[in-house]
């Protein structure tokens, strides 16, 4: 499962799925950000087979983080628990009750 993330939220050494406007780049490992003198910011990645990929237009690519099944189900359970708690509180306390 994948989750769309902000470009600036990438962590070094983590694998991400990169998608350009019209094509898929694939799974890459993020290395670092570089800012050049002219103000352009590059993100440097490594393919699993050790070839380097650098991209300067960070707004043109979509970056997806891999979400494990354990993390996904933990989030689902958290939302479920919150919803159940709200239902129980509404039954115990009138809906018009305010803090």
Inter-residue contact 17 to 4 (CB < 8 Å): no
Q: Where are the domains of the chain?
A: 2-67, 68-99
Question: What is the pTM assigned to this prediction?
Answer: 0.58
Q: What is the chain's alpha carbon radius of gyration, rounded to the nearest angstrom?
A: 20
Please state the rounded mean pLDDT for residues 31-55.
73
Strand 2-5 and strand 62-66: the pairing is antiparallel
Give the residues across from 16 on adjacent strands.
28, 65
What digits encode the pLDDT tens for the residues 45-55?
Answer: 777 766 666 66
Fold of 2-67: SH3 type barrels. (2.30.30)
Average pLDDT over residues 73-79: 94
Residue 17 structure tokens: 């799925």
Average pLDDT in the 15-31 region?
76
pLDDT at 96 exceeding the cut of 60:
yes
Chain segment 80-93, per-residue pLDDT in tens: 999 998 888 888 88
pLDDT level of residue 76 (50, 70, 90 thresholds): very high
């Amino acid at each position: 499962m994948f989750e769309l993330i902000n470009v600036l939220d990438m962590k070094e050494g983590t694998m991400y799925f990169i998608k350009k406007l019209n094509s898929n780049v694939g799974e890459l490992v993020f290395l670092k950000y570089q800012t050049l003198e002219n103000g352009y910011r590059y993100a440097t990645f490594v393919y699993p087979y050790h070839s380097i990929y650098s991209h300067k237009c960070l707004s043109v690519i979509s970056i997806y983080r891999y979400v494990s099944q354990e993390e996904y189900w933990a989030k689902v359970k958290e939302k479920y628990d919150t919803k159940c708690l709200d239902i129980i509180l509404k039954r115990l306390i009138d809906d018009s009750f305010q803090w």
